[in-house]
Amino acid sequence: MRSGVKSMKIDLDAVEETAKLLYIRALKVLPDDIKDGFQRLDAAETDATGKSILATMIRNIDVAEDTDNLLCQDTGIPIYNITIGRGVEVDGIDLKTAIRKGCARATKEYPLRSSVVHPVTRKNEHTSCGRRVPVINVDFSGAEQELVIEMIPKGSGSENGSFLKMCIPADGVAGIKTFVIDKVLEAGGKVCPPTIVGVGIGGTADLCMKMAKIAATRRLGSVCDDREGAKLEAELSDAVNTLGIGPQGLGGDSTSFAVHVETAATHITMNPVAVNIQCHSARRAKATFTPTGVEIGV
């Protein structure tokens, strides 16, 4: 333990309960930044069909809250992102077990549709759990006495809009930009636009795709902390919304809320680019554990 940092023990029963609550909450209440994104797109949309579809999507957000129902039938693949701050005392294996139990309990007790099957037998355990699922990502932060659990139910329509290309250095940045535009065109209405297009640039093949997922699930309004990545975000966000794909691929200006980019250093011989898309039901929920208790938000 680093000297001067107070320790905080994590109650695993609270983790299990929180993992359950986060899954259900994420499926019902859209984060404020996505709601604001809808208002922004609606104000700028010039196509009559696009405008009418956006209006129905906005109405659905209200109906879900008014009827205490799920926004979308797709309960997704559950992803839990854990960020462990300084001074946090927790057994890692027990933490993962508690999250897995909470995820299964949400599915059984609510009940939610389990969308998770074995990849070969296609057998559904009806727990939203399976081999290596829920996806549990662990990272660390400098925050003292704080543990954050973010839950993302990742819908399959948009997850099927995932692409990786190991471009070569001679393809340059032009190769990256062209790949993103071509994949947005290919995905069309299948990924439930308006979307957040997540782009990973650099790293290894696996890191590249992981960054694309981080980018696709980032808050709207957030900006890549690499200046070069931020420049590409602005250019690509502008360009994708000139394609006219529109809400649901039925035409209009609102193809994407934004293009988000994450970057990592890569090899001298490599120039990888990955695309991972988030649908308009861009759901997430977050819980923060501190010595004073657990706070649930987005």
The binding site for another protein (CB under 8 A) comprises 49, 53, 56-57, 59-60, 63-64, 67, 69-75, 110-115, 122, 124, 155-157, 160, 174, 177-178, 181-182, 185, 188-192, 235-236, 238-240, 242-251, 279-281
| Residue 59 or 267 having the CB closest to another protein | 59
| Residue 204 or 237 having the CB closest to another protein | 237
Identify whether the C-beta of residue 118 lies closer than 8 Å to the C-beta of residue 174. Answer: no
| Shortest distance (Å) from residue 93 CB to another protein | 31
Which is it for the CA torsion 287, 289, 295, 298, positive or negative? negative
| Residue 18 or 128 having the CB closest to another protein | 128
Residue 144 structure tokens: 């003292």
Residue 219 structure tokens: 């808050």
Q: Which of 151, 166, 228, 243 is nearest to 197 (CA)?
A: 243
Residues 6+ apart with CB under 8 A from 230: 223, 224, 261
| Residue 144 or 249 having the CB closest to another protein | 249
Helix axes 227-240, 172-187, angle to 10 degrees: 40
| Residue 147 or 187 having the CB closest to another protein | 187
| Shortest distance (Å) from residue 267 CB to another protein | 24
Give the type of residue at 132.
R
| Shortest distance (Å) from residue 231 CB to another protein | 10
Residue 73 structure tokens: 């039938």
Beta bridge partners of 133: 130
| Shortest distance (Å) from residue 124 CB to another protein | 8
| Shortest distance (Å) from residue 256 CB to another protein | 12
Residue 148 structure tokens: 């954050």
